[in-house]
């Protein structure tokens, strides 16, 4: 019944879906949050300095701007790329990848500046997490060709609602026996260069889910978590579906989670 209901919902036309409000997957307070649906990191800094020269708006702007970089770094380095790799660890050391990520961390942009009537300047910054972490994703993805054909299946939808887990950019979904079904190592390096490994949504009817998984996806429900991964039953149809591997390799994966 669940699969039939989800399939019916996702088979609605994109035009019908756009009219409905959908909650993105956001984690953190508005002043320092990650939108996991769009993979954008947002931080805000404010300057209310008003002593002497600090009454000058331009100096308040600079004060707020100077605060943004450290706040972006603090939030960005707290994230996980996969259940086994945290961003802070990838940045440490002097490898070529670490250097590229360090340089890319400076690619955040000021998205909005607000001037308050009572005084003070507030600035918001945005960092595109996929664009920044693309080299790391590609380094852990597969270079091998994936065998099999997806047939009429257009994607994979994993319903992980009710199974709370810290979100990585590239999650792992596995069987209770430990066999990986969705994992960065099973995805094409070429694909993750172009798009994020999965799309997180809070509703399987979200147009963002339809865009990634299409209108004839394979469904599965997570029944547990372990070691940073979502777990599906060993006897779940998805675990033996030959269409799964090529869909995962192509990044046609949506994970439905509870609103954060």
pLDDT digits (tens, 9 = 90+) for 192-210: 999 999 999 999 999 999 9
Q: What does DSSP say about strands 32-35 and 253-256: parallel, antiparallel, or unpaired?
A: unpaired
Distance between CA atoms of residues 194 and 147, nearest Å? 21
User: Do residues 199 and 255 lie in contact, with contact meaning Cβ atoms separated by under 8 Å?
Assistant: yes
User: Do residues 110 and 65 lie in contact, with contact meaning Cβ atoms separated by under 8 Å?
Assistant: yes
Q: What is the pLDDT of residue 52?
A: 60
Distance between CA atoms of residues 6 and 88, nearest Å? 37
Distance between CA atoms of residues 108 and 224, nearest Å? 36
CA distances from 140 to 45, 106, 134, 184 (A): 34, 23, 10, 7
Distance between CA atoms of residues 211 and 146, nearest Å? 22
Could you give the angle at the alpha carbon of 20 between the alpha carbons of 259 and 1, nearest 5°? Answer: 70
Average pLDDT over residues 49-60: 67
Q: What is the pLDDT of residue 80?
A: 97
| Per-residue pLDDT tens over the stretch 216-240 | 999 999 999 999 999 999 999 999 9
Distance between CA atoms of residues 125 and 45, nearest Å? 8
Please state, rounded to an integer, the average pLDDT across all residues of the chain: 89
Q: What is the pLDDT of residue 2?
A: 39
| Per-residue pLDDT tens over the stretch 178-193 | 999 999 999 999 999 9
54: pLDDT strictly greater than 80: no
Q: Is 234 helix (H, G, I), strand (E, B) or coil?
A: coil
13: pLDDT strictly greater than 80: no
7: pLDDT strictly greater than 60: no
Could you give the angle at the alpha carbon of 184 between the alpha carbons of 178 and 87, nearest 5°? Answer: 105
- Residue 5 pLDDT grade (very low, low, confident, very high; cuts 50, 70, 90): very low
Average pLDDT over residues 24-29: 92
Q: What is the pLDDT of residue 89?
A: 96
Distance of CA 54 to the CA centre of its chain: 39
- Whole-model pTM? 0.86
Distance between CA atoms of residues 137 and 170, nearest Å? 8
- Residue 55 pLDDT grade (very low, low, confident, very high; cuts 50, 70, 90): low
Q: What is the pLDDT of residue 9?
A: 42
Phi then psi for 56, rounded to 5 degrees?
Answer: -70, 125
């Amino acid at each position: 019944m669940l699969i039939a209901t989800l399939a019916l919902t996702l088979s609605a036309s994109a035009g019908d879906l756009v009219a409905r409000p959908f909650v993105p997957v956001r984690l953190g307070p508005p002043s320092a949050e990650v939108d996991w649906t769009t993979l954008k990191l947002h931080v805000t800094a404010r300057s209310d300095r008003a002593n002497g020269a600090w009454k000058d708006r331009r100096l308040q702007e600079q004060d707020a701007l100077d605060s943004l970089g450290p706040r972006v770094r603090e939030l960005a380095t707290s994230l996980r790329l996969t259940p086994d790799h945290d961003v802070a660890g990838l940045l440490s050391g002097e490898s070529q990848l670490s250097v590229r990520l360090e340089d890319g961390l400076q690619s955040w942009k000021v998205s909005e500046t607000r001037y308050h009537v009572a005084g003070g300047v507030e600035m918001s910054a945005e960092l595109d997490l996929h664009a920044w972490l693309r080299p790391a994703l590609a380094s852990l993805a597969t270079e091998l060709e994936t065998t099999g054909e997806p047939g009429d299946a257009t994607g994979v939808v994993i319903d992980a609602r009710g199974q709370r887990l810290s979100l990585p950019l590239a999650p792992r979904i596995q069987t209770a026996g430990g066999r990986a079904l969705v994992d960065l190592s099973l995805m094409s390096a070429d694909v993750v260069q172009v798009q994020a490994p999965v799309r997180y949504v809070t509703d399987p009817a979200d147009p963002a889910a339809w865009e990634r998984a299409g209108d004839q996806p394979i469904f599965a429900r997570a029944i547990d978590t372990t070691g940073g991964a979502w777990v599906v039953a060993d006897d779940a149809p998805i675990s033996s579906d030959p269409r799964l591997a090529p869909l995962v390799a192509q990044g046609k994966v949506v994970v439905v989670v509870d609103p954060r």
